[in-house]
Amino acid sequence: MKVLIYGEHRDGQIRKITFENITLTKSLNVPFEVVFIGTDIPDAGEQLSRYGAEQVTLIKGSGLEKYSPDGYAKILAQLVQKHEADVLLMGATATGKDLAPRVSAILNAPLATDCTKVELEGDQLRLIRPMYAGKVLANVSLNSGIKIVTVRPNVYSAHENPADADVREETVEVPDFKTVVKEIISGAKGKLDVTEADIIVSGGRGMKGPENWHLIEELAELLGAATGASRAAVDAGWRPHDEQVGQTGKTVSPTLYVAVGISGAIQHLAGMSSSKYIVAINKDPEAPIFKVADYGIVADLFEVVPKMIEELKKMKN
Ligand SMILES: Cc1cc2nc3c(=O)[nH]c(=O)nc-3n(C[C@H](O)[C@H](O)[C@H](O)COP(=O)(O)OP(=O)(O)OC[C@H]3O[C@@H](n4cnc5c(N)ncnc54)[C@H](O)[C@@H]3O)c2cc1C
């Protein structure tokens, strides 16, 4: 079984999910190759060697600098066939969600999205994917020559495992693009994205209003965390939509998720229940968030959070 890992990059940086997928594939003990489409990545070989990639292909071609959903999908589909891959592995990221179904349609290959476990049973892939807002975990196998799998970010930690990467360049015939992304307007500069963060501090309606959000931001800064929000906080216009965690927001799997004034509705849990450790601060001991929390603080957040900030500041000094 040969695996082709789609290498994600942005602004010349390799995205963390690529290293996570390398670690995952190495644990399966099968041959694999990492492909990047479209750009020069400084020190790609050096970085990928550190995580154990041995075969890396950089796909070049005029016009490939700008991401095109249909164009990249066509190229990726061609590569899967040309490189005789059995599995195409991608991140269940914004890019993976955009590209994987298109490649699946072109190749008429089955797709399992947002997997939280990928294992080999004999020569069969065994996949676990949460369904129905995380209420069930489906055990999935794909019966087909070519299989496409996207993996939830942060579920597999990337481990360094040095190898000697052989980096090759391949020039492809660039197809006509129907759509080209001309510009990506990023949100607040330098803001850590919730889907990539190792620690997230999230606030909900219990925060009472945007004027109190400095508590979430201060706590997040001291913990080196990204800030998240419940839909109630986003719908109220207190926070931008890119911070929303949950069924209609982002799915996150950080090491630590701190839920402040969030009740833990099923739609919120759908986006964060695979976090490794959950800390909940809520004044209602019956709040459903405590059912998934590893540590719970039943208290008024306006008393507890300033104390946490004070203590963390003391520890840092
Ligand atoms: C189709 C659909 C999709 C949805 N998608 C999402 C989604 O993606 N993400 C999402 O989050 N929700 C989603 N929702 C909404 C979801 O059902 C809840 O309404 C929402 O999560 C509630 O947000 P909340 O916990 O911030 O607010 P509430 O449910 O109002 O909870 C506020 C909590 O704060 C606590 N609190 C209040 N004051 C304090 C205080 N001083 N100190 C400590 N605790 C305090 C309260 O005890 C309460 O538990 C969706 C709903 C639907 C129908």
Predicted confidence (pLDDT) per residue in 247-295, tens digit: 999 999 999 999 999 999 999 999 999 999 999 999 999 999 999 999 9
Beta bridge partners of 167: 56
Could you report the per-residue pLDDT of 5-43, keeping only the tens digit for each?
999 998 888 999 999 999 999 999 999 999 999 877 778
Q: What is the pLDDT of residues 126-184, one digit of tens each?
A: 999 999 878 899 999 999 899 999 999 999 999 999 999 999 999 888 888 899 888 87
Going by C-alpha positions, the residue among 173, 196, 162, 218 that lies closest to residue 64 is 173
Helix ranges (DSSP H) in the chain: 16-28, 44-50, 69-82, 94-107, 214-223, 231-235, 266-272, 289-292, 301-316
> Does the Cβ of 249 fall within 6 Å of ligand 1?
yes
Average pLDDT on 102-119 reads 97
User: Residue 132 Cα, ligand 1 centroid: separation in angstroms?
Assistant: 18
Contacts of 105 (CB under 8 A, 6+ apart): none
CATH topology of domain 3-171: Rossmann fold (3.40.50)
Cα–Cα distance for residue pair 80/259, rounded to 1 Å: 41
Domains 3-171 and 199-316 fall in the same CATH topology? yes
* Average pLDDT of span 109-127: 95
The reply to whether ligand 1 has any atom less than 6 angstroms from the CB of 301 is yes
**In the chain, where the domains are located:** 3-171, 199-316
- E strands, 134-237, are 136-140, 147-151, 166-171, 199-203, 226-229
Whether residue 141 contacts residue 125, with contact meaning beta carbons closer than 8 Å, is answered with yes
Say which residue, 230 or 13, is predicted with more confidence: 230
pTM listed for this prediction:
0.86
246 touches ligand 1 (CB under 6 Å): yes
- Between CA 118 and CA 104 the distance in angstroms is 18
Mean of per-residue pLDDT scores for the chain:
94
Which of 201, 202, 205, 279 has the most ligand 1 atoms within 8 A of CB, as the residue to mutate?
Answer: 205
Task: Name the residue among 105, 103, 115, 164 with its Cα closest to residue 141.
Answer: 115
Which of 208, 215, 238, 247 best tests ligand 1's pocket when mutated (most atoms within 8 Å of CB)?
247
Total residue count of the chain as it appears in this document: 317
* CATH number of this structure's domain 199-316: 3.40.50.1220
Q: Is the CB of 273 under 6 A from ligand 1?
A: no
